[in-house]
């Protein structure tokens, strides 16, 4: 079939297998040219391994450290008439490259919140991998079923305490407009923390530790975004922010639990980037478009793979990691530097629908959004007839 992008609001409902492979292979090439990660991991579990920061983590572990990797994700398989989700094609490209390099890799496609999937992962680790020395937790989901009570919780993107009105970039209409969001109530805050907080990360490590499949001196990391004043009302000091604060609680609890193994749990704060998740957050498309313009002009812009490659080399496997007072690993220093934030603020008040192309990097934002789904590559023929049926050979039954 001929596969062209089908965009609905802030999501793309299809994906291109050839373009997704290009996206993955670019990241692999970047990690390989940087050379080996000194004292990097050897057996890695990545929970949320098929897109964004989780995919970049799996690529960096495998091609920077030669690690065996077990990837967990929840992706749509292809049919003869419909494409798979991007994460499926990303994983297929990763698998092909890892197999060619002689790197052990396996995947589980299912709901990572369930205890059944955790047990399946533990069985694979025990029988095929040996003990895990790095667990990456990079899930982004709108809802979660509690494995004990069976209750389903749903997250919301709302401010706390008072309503919030701000400018945003409507990517569907390609217009600058105002968006107003009403404040969350206590139940919505609670549910968002249940979905996006540290409870499931903690549960994963509880069960991995109880099964004795974690190595001595193991590490685990979960990803967050902290931001600055412009994004705090809808991100940092909002329902998502409350959930991310819970990651700090979970990191402390996990570190305490892993004390006998000298294990460590970290929260890593990363740069704002175009992801499927960030595209849905009010004001973030405008903020990211302006940020990209400012940072690219300065030469300090980094994408997903640059951030994670840096995290491994300058954070997780460095003797002198950049950390804040709360013990978080920080890879967002360039974005949050005062001169970058001031430049973004200055442009924030000036940009109009008519000046989107001159005052923002909307073109770069949009192209990066397309690349998440395998589109936007000039050397990929999007008029060619391609099969959507790309198999995964190493997927667990």
Contact at 8 Å (CB) between 122 and 213? yes
Q: Is 269 helix (H, G, I), strand (E, B) or coil?
A: strand
Name which of 122, 120, 133, 321 is nearest 220 in CA terms: 133
pLDDT of residue 44: 98
- Catalytic hit among 235, 287, 292, 362: 235
Note the pLDDT of residue 283: 86
Per-residue pLDDT of the chain in tens (397 residues, 90 and over written 9): 999 999 887 789 999 999 999 999 999 999 999 999 999 999 999 999 999 999 999 999 999 999 999 999 999 999 999 999 999 999 999 999 999 999 999 999 999 999 999 999 999 999 999 999 999 999 988 999 999 999 999 999 898 998 888 888 888 888 999 888 899 999 999 999 999 999 999 999 999 999 999 999 999 999 999 888 888 887 778 898 899 899 999 999 999 999 999 999 999 999 999 887 777 777 889 999 999 999 999 999 999 999 999 999 999 999 999 999 999 999 999 999 999 999 999 999 899 999 999 999 999 999 999 999 999 999 999 999 999 999 999 999 8
What pTM does this model have? 0.96
- Is CATH 3.40.50.720 what the domain over 7-371 is classified as, yes or no? yes
**pLDDT score recorded for residue 129:** 96
Distance from C-alpha of 204 to C-alpha of 108, rounded to nearest angstrom = 15
Q: What is the DSSP string of 146-177?
A: -TTT--EEE----BSSS-EEEEEEETTTTEEE
Is 266 among the catalytic positions? no
**Tell me, what DSSP letter sits at residue 102?**
T
Instruction: Give the integer Cα–Cα distance in Å for 239 and 230.
Output: 16
The pLDDT of residue 392 is 97
Write down the domain spans for the chain: 7-371
Integer Rg of the chain from CA: 20
Number of H-type helices and E-type strands within the chain: 13, 13
d(C-alpha 44, C-alpha 64), whole Å = 12
H helices of 211-282, in order, are 239-257
| 3-class DSSP assignment, residue 51 | coil
How big is the CA angle at 276 (ends 157 and 352), to the nearest 5 degrees? 75
Do 118 and 203 touch, CB atoms closer than 8 A? yes
Taking the chain, what is the end-to-end CA distance rounded to the nearest angstrom?
Answer: 28
């Amino acid at each position: 079939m001929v596969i062209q992008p089908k965009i609905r609001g802030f999501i793309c409902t299809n994906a291109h297998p050839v373009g997704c492979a290009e996206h993955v292979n670019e990241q692999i090439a970047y990690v390989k040219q940087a050379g080996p990660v000194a004292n990097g991991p050897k057996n890695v579990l990545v929970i949320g391994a098929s897109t964004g920061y989780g995919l970049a983590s799996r690529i960096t572990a495998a091609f920077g450290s030669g690690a065996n990797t077990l990837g967990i994700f929840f992706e749509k398989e292809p049919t003869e008439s419909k494409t798979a989700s991007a994460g499926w094609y990303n994983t297929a490209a990763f698998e092909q490259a890892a197999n060619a390099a002689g790197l052990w890799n396996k995947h589980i496609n299912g709901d990572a919140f369930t205890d059944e999937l955790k047990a399946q992962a533990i069985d694979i680790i025990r029988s095929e991998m040996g003990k895990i020395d790095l667990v990456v937790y990079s899930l982004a989901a709108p809802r979660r079923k509690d494995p004990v009570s069976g209750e389903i919780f749903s997250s919301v993107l709302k401010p706390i305490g008072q309503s919030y009105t701000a400018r945003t970039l409507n990517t569907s209409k390609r217009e600058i407009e105002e968006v107003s969001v009403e404040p969350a109530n206590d139940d919505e805050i609670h549910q968002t923390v249940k979905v996006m907080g540290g409870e499931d990360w903690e549960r994963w490590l509880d069960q991995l530790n109880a099964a004795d499949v974690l190595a001595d001196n193991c590490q685990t990391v979960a990803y967050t975004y902290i931001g600055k004043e412009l994004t705090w009302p809808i991100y940092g000091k909002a329902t998502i922010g409350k959930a991310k604060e819970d990651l700090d609680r979970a990191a402390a609890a996990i570190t305490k639990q892993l004390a006998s193994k000298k294990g460590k749990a970290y929260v890593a704060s990363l740069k704002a980037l175009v992801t499927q998740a960030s595209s849905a957050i009010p004001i973030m498309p405008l903020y990211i478009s302006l940020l990209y313009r400012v940072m690219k002009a300065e030469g300090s812009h980094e994408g997903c793979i640059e951030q994670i490659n840096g995290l491994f080399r300058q954070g997780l496997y460095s003797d002198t990691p950049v950390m804040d007072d709360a013990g978080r690993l920080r890879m967002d220093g360039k974005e949050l530097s005062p001169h970058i934030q001031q430049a973004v603020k200055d442009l924030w008040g000036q940009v109009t629908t008519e000046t989107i192309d001159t005052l923002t990097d909307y073109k770069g934002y949009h192209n990066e959004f397309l690349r998440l789904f395998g589109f936007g590559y000039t050397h990929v023929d999007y008029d060619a007839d391609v099969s959507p049926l790309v198999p995964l050979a190493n997927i667990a039954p």
